[in-house]
Amino acid sequence: MSSSQPPAGRESRVTMKQVAALAGVGIKTVSRVLNNEPNVSVKTAERVHDAVRALDYQLDLQAGSLRRIDGRTRTLGLLVGSVDNPFSGAIHRAVEDAAVGRGIAVFASSLDDDPRREESAVRAFLQRRVDGLILTTARRRPDYVTSLGDRGIPAVFVDRRPIDVDLDSVTSDNREAAHRATTHLVARGHRRIALLADRSDLQTADERRQGFLDAVGRAGIPTTETVTVMDLHDANSAEAAVAALLSSDRPPTAIFSAQNLITVGAVHALRAAGAQRSIALIGFDDIPLADLLEPGVTVVAQDPYEIGRVAVEHVFSRLEGYAGPARHTVVPTTLIARGSGEIEPAR
């Protein structure tokens, strides 16, 4: 149970040539068999398979793609917010589900909303010659997109659509969804509403703010009545921000938390202040177990699996020849009323 292992390295790389020798055929015949090409007799194929088993041979896809006419590596690059995040996980799963059936492997990386990480991740993907990319960007105008076009590598942006970039994208309508959430609060009589959002240089955060401002504007609520706190990025900072609001002179009667981690922080702060049944809360993005909290947390939910599913379909359609204009798919959001968003303002 505890003997030592051989050192790591290319011990005894079995090659196609060795398989061919053992099977008594030419190397090209082995290639034909392993790639299911026609014109191989059943007997020969069997001999090849026997040799493959005997030597425990595994085809080298990398070497193959080097010479292959289309240069495909049967590989995709996926860049998401963070692989440790339910929203990203659902996108990832959708991509994998579509890729695995086609024999395509997926490289996954986390963005952390860091433009430098973004650049190095994309470079890492390109240097490994991925066939396609599915990207979340932290930039308004990613500068690497022109190289993608020149290389003919299909890329689809998910979650955030960069400005003036003519590549496919799959997003939610953040502005509309934020508008809907805010209107939901206004309809219950709220005027003193607080918006808590992520870094304002992120497109999604900005759009959500605009949707919020549209809605309060249309309701005729002066901006002196509302509060907006931007640049929140995690649950802790959001909790602190809400706590500060609650202990201010004129605390809000309703909160719109425009991102899932912010919602978590807001719930914590409301609980700590014992205000979870008196101050309304709507979150952007669903959070796990939101339905089991008391009150349940009302959210406008995105559909990350669907976002990933459509994105990977876009990639494959381009790989299969589609060369038309960029498609900008908007995946619908859903307002899920669970209680917290239906609280009315205290008199």
Residues 135-154 that bind a copy of itself (CB under 8 A): 147, 149-154
User: From a copy of itself, DNA, none, which one binds at residue 35 (CB under 5 to 8 Å depending on kind)?
Assistant: DNA
Considering beta carbons, is residue 86 or 217 the nearer one to a copy of itself?
86
Considering beta carbons, is residue 102 or 271 the nearer one to DNA?
102
Alpha-carbon distances, residue 51 vs 15, 34, 83, 159 (angstroms): 11, 12, 40, 48
Q: Does 103 bind a copy of itself (CB under 8 A)?
A: yes
Q: How far apart are the first and last CA of the chain?
A: 72
What is the rounded CA–CA span in Å between residue 236 and residue 76?
A: 34
Q: Does 264 bind a copy of itself (CB under 8 A)?
A: yes
Provide the 3-class DSSP secondary structure of residue 192: coil
Nearest 5°: the CA angle 13, 14, 18 is: 140
What's the min distance (Å) between Cβ of 56 and a copy of itself?
5
User: From a copy of itself, DNA, none, which one binds at residue 44 (CB under 5 to 8 Å depending on kind)?
Assistant: DNA
What's the min distance (Å) between Cβ of 73 and DNA?
11
Cβ atoms 225, 191 nearer than 8 A? yes
Residues in the chain: 347
What's the min distance (Å) between Cβ of 126 and DNA?
11
Query: Which alpha helices (H) appear in 56-139, and where do they start and end?
Result: 61-67, 86-100, 115-127
Contacts with a copy of itself by CB under 8 A: the residue count is 85
Q: Does 336 bind a copy of itself (CB under 8 A)?
A: no
| φ, ψ (nearest 5 deg) of residue 141 | -130, 85
User: From DNA, a copy of itself, none, which one binds at residue 34 (CB under 5 to 8 Å depending on kind)?
Assistant: DNA
Cβ atoms 155, 317 nearer than 8 A? no
What's the min distance (Å) between Cβ of 247 and a copy of itself?
21
Q: Nearest-CA neighbor of 257 among 282, 276, 294?
A: 282
Q: Which of positions 152-211 make contact with a copy of itself (CB under 8 A)?
A: 152-154, 164, 166-167
Considering beta carbons, is residue 55 or 221 the nearer one to a copy of itself?
55
What's the min distance (Å) between Cβ of 330 and a copy of itself?
15
Sites of contact with DNA (CB under 7 A): 13, 15-17, 24-29, 31-32, 34-35, 38-41, 43-45, 59-60, 63-64, 66-70
User: From DNA, a copy of itself, none, which one binds at residue 56 (CB under 5 to 8 Å depending on kind)?
Assistant: a copy of itself
What's the min distance (Å) between Cβ of 249 and a copy of itself?
28
User: From DNA, a copy of itself, none, which one binds at residue 31 (CB under 5 to 8 Å depending on kind)?
Assistant: DNA
User: From DNA, a copy of itself, none, which one binds at residue 75 (CB under 5 to 8 Å depending on kind)?
Assistant: a copy of itself
DSSP state of 344: P
Interface stretch with a copy of itself, choices 174-182, 215-223, 248-256, 283-291 (CB under 8 A): 283-291
Query: Which alpha helices (H) appear in 161-202, and where do they start and end?
Result: 174-187
Half-sphere exposure of 134 (CA within 13 A, CB side): 31
Would residue 113 be called left, alpha or beta, if left means φ above 0 and alpha means ψ between -120 and 50 degrees?
A: left
Cβ atoms 345, 188 nearer than 8 A? yes
What is the rounded CA–CA span in Å between residue 176 and residue 172?
A: 9
What per-residue string of b and e applies to 188-213 under the rule 16 or more CB within 10 Å gives b? eebbebbbbbbeeebbbbbbbbebbb
Considering beta carbons, is residue 41 or 224 the nearer one to DNA?
41
User: From a copy of itself, DNA, none, which one binds at residue 8 (CB under 5 to 8 Å depending on kind)?
Assistant: a copy of itself
User: From DNA, a copy of itself, none, which one binds at residue 39 (CB under 5 to 8 Å depending on kind)?
Assistant: DNA
